[in-house]
Amino acid sequence: MPTPVVLDCDPGHDDAIAIMLAAGDPAIDLRAITTVAGNQTLDKVTLNARRVCTIAGITDVPIAAGCARPLVRPLRIADDVHGSTGLDGPSFSDPTVGLSDLHAVELMRSVMPATIVATGALTNVALFLSRYGADGIGEIVLMGGSTERGNITPAAEANIYVDPEAAEIVFSSGVPVTMCGLNVTHQALVTPDVLGRLEVLGELGRTCAELMTFFAKTYRELFGFDAPPLHDPVAVARVIDPSLVRCVDAHVAIETAGTHTRGATVVDLDGYLGLEPNAQVAVELDVPRFWDRVIAAIGNVSGIRAD
Residue from 156, 158, 240, 264 in contact with ligand RIB (CB under 6 A): 158
* Partner from Ca ion, ligand RIB, none binding residue 124, C-beta < 5-8 Å depending on class: none
Phi, psi of 149 (to 5 degrees): -85, 170
DSSP letter at 241? -
What SS3 state is found at 267? strand
- By CB under 6 A, is residue 232 in contact with ligand RIB? yes
Residues facing 245 on adjacent strands: 285
For the bound state, the minimum distance from the C-beta of residue 46 to Ca ion, rounded and expressed in Å, comes to 13
Judged on CB neighbours under 10 Å (0-12, 13-18, 19+), 59 is exposed
User: How distant, in Å, are the alpha carbons of 11, 22, 217 from that of 193?
Assistant: 24, 22, 17
231 flagged as catalytic: yes
| Catalytic pick among 186, 231, 251, 260 | 231
Write the binding mask 114 to 143 for ligand RIB: x where contact by CB under 6 A, - elsewhere.
-----xx----------------------x
For Ca ion, give the closer residue by CB, 42 or 306: 42
Least spacing, CB of residue 157 vs ligand RIB, in Å: 5
15 in contact with ligand RIB (CB under 6 A): yes
Alpha-carbon torsion, ordered 11, 30, 174, 232, to 10 deg: -30
Tell me whether the omega of the peptide bond preceding residue 113 falls within 30 degrees of 0, making it cis: yes
List the beta bridge partners of residue 304. Answer: none
163 is an interface residue for ligand RIB by CB under 6 A: no
Which member of 139, 157, 163, 168 binds ligand RIB (CB under 6 A)? Answer: 157
Q: Considering CB under 6 A, how many residues would be counted as binding ligand RIB?
A: 16
User: H helices within 88-149, ranges in order?
Assistant: 104-111, 123-132
Footprint on this chain of Ca ion (rule: CB under 5 A)? 10, 12, 15, 119-120, 232
Q: Which residues are designated catalytic?
A: 231
Positions touching ligand RIB (CB under 6 A) are: 10, 12, 14-15, 38-39, 78, 119-120, 143, 151, 157-159, 231-232
